[in-house]
C-alpha cells in the first residue's frame, strides 16, 4: 500500500509531538492499563502493534515475560525508545497489516487506538490472528464514537492531517472484531480525550 493511503507520512511527522499531545490522556491510559493488567500473566510473550511512543508499553511490560513493541513509523519507534527502560522490551518497525513474524508466535497481541485509523483494519486482524497462538488474547483499546466527544478538537486534528477511516461505536467495533475469528471477552468503556475508549479484549477461537 502506498505511504499516503495509510497516512504514514503524517505519523512520521507527528512522532516528536505525540508524547506531549497524549499527556492529556495519562489518567485514561492508567485506568485502561488497570483493566488490561488483569488479563496478562508473567509467562506471556506479548506483541504490541502501533505502539506510538510507548503509552501502553512502559505501563504494562513489567507484567509479562517478554514485550515486543512495534510501529510502522520508524520515528515513533525512535521516540518510544527514549521514554523509558525495561529490560524485557524489544522494539521493532512492523506494519500491522503485513507482519514478519511466524504463525502462532505470541500469547497476546496489543493494538491500542490504531484499528480505526487504518484504511484496511481487516488485514491487521487477519495478521493478528495468524501470529497469535490458539486461544491467544487480542487487546485492542480503541477510541469510539459513543456519547459526547470533542468535535472541535477532532476537526482541528483533521486540519493538520490526522485521518480516521472508521468512526465505530463500541458495538460496531465488537462486531467487526468478532466477525474475524475472535470471541469477545470484555469491552469496558473508559473516559478519554477527544473520545472515550472501548477496551476491547477477545480470544482467538
Ligand X SMILES: C[S@@+](CC[C@H](N)C(=O)[O-])C[C@H]1O[C@@H](n2cnc3c(N)ncnc32)[C@H](O)[C@@H]1O
Binding footprint of ligand X, residue count (CB under 6 A): 21
Mark 69-88 with x for binding to ligand X (rule: CB under 6 A) and - for no binding: --xxx--x------------
Candidates 47, 51, 132, 173; binder of ligand X (CB under 6 A) is 51
What are 141's strand-pairing partners?
199
Asked if 136 contacts 44 with a C-beta cutoff of 8 angstroms, the reply is: no
Of 68 and 73, which CB lies nearer to ligand X in the complex structure? 73
Q: Taking CB positions, which residue lies at the least distance from ligand X?
A: 52
Q: Does 142 bind ligand X (CB under 6 A)?
A: no
Judged by phi (left if over 0) then psi (alpha if -120 to 50, else beta), residue 52 lies in left
- As a whole number of Å, the CA-based R_g of the chain is 16
Q: State in Å, rounded, how far the first CA of the chain is from the last one.
A: 29
Q: Closest separation between CB of residue 49 and ligand X, Å?
A: 5
Euclidean distance between CA atoms 122 and 176, whole angstroms? 8
Q: Does 114 bind ligand X (CB under 6 A)?
A: yes
In sequence order, what are the residues at sequence separation of 6 or more whose Cβ sits closer than 8 angstroms to the Cβ of residue 167? 116, 145
Q: Does 97 bind ligand X (CB under 6 A)?
A: yes
Q: Which stretch binds ligand X (CB under 6 A): 36-44, 109-117, 131-139, 177-185?
A: 109-117
Residue 110's Cβ-side half-sphere holds a number of Cα atoms within 13 Å equal to 29
Q: Does 67 bind ligand X (CB under 6 A)?
A: no
Q: Does 52 bind ligand X (CB under 6 A)?
A: yes
Euclidean distance between CA atoms 136 and 104, whole angstroms? 9
Q: Does 6 bind ligand X (CB under 6 A)?
A: yes
Q: Closest separation between CB of residue 72 and ligand X, Å?
A: 3
Which residues here bind ligand X, judged by CB under 6 A? 6, 11, 22, 49-52, 55-56, 71-73, 76, 95-97, 112-114, 117-118
Amino acid at each position: 500500500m502506498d505511504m499516503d493511503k495509510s497516512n504514514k507520512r503524517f505519523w512520521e511527522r507527528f512522532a516528536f509531538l505525540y508524547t506531549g499531545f497524549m499527556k492529556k490522556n495519562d489518567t485514561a491510559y492508567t485506568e485502561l492499563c488497570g483493566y488490561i493488567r488483569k488479563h496478562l500473566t508473567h509467562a506471556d510473550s506479548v506483541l504490541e502493534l502501533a505502539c506510538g511512543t510507548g503509552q501502553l508499553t512502559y505501563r504494562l511490560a513489567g507484567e509479562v515475560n517478554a514485550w515486543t513493541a512495534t510501529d510502522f513509523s520508524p520515528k515513533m519507534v525512535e521516540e518510544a525508545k527514549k521514554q523509558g527502560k525495561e529490560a524485557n522490551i524489544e522494539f521493532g518497525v512492523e506494519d500491522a497489516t503485513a507482519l514478519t513474524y511466524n504463525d502462532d508466535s505470541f500469547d497476546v497481541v496489543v493494538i491500542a487506538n490504531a484499528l480505526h485509523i487504518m484504511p484496511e483494519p481487516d488485514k491487521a486482524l487477519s495478521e493478528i490472528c495468524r501470529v497469535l497462538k490458539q486461544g491467544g488474547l487480542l487487546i485492542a483499546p480503541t477510541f469510539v464514537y459513543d456519547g459526547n466527544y470533542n468535535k472541535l478538537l477532532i476537526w482541528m486534528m483533521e486540519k493538520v492531517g490526522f485521518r480516521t477511516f472508521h468512526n465505530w461505536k463500541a458495538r460496531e467495533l465488537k462486531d467487526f472484531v468478532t466477525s474475524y475469528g475472535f470471541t469477545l471477552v470484555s469491552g469496558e468503556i473508559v473516559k478519554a480525550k477527544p473520545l472515550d475508549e472501548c477496551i476491547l479484549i477477545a480470544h482467538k477461537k
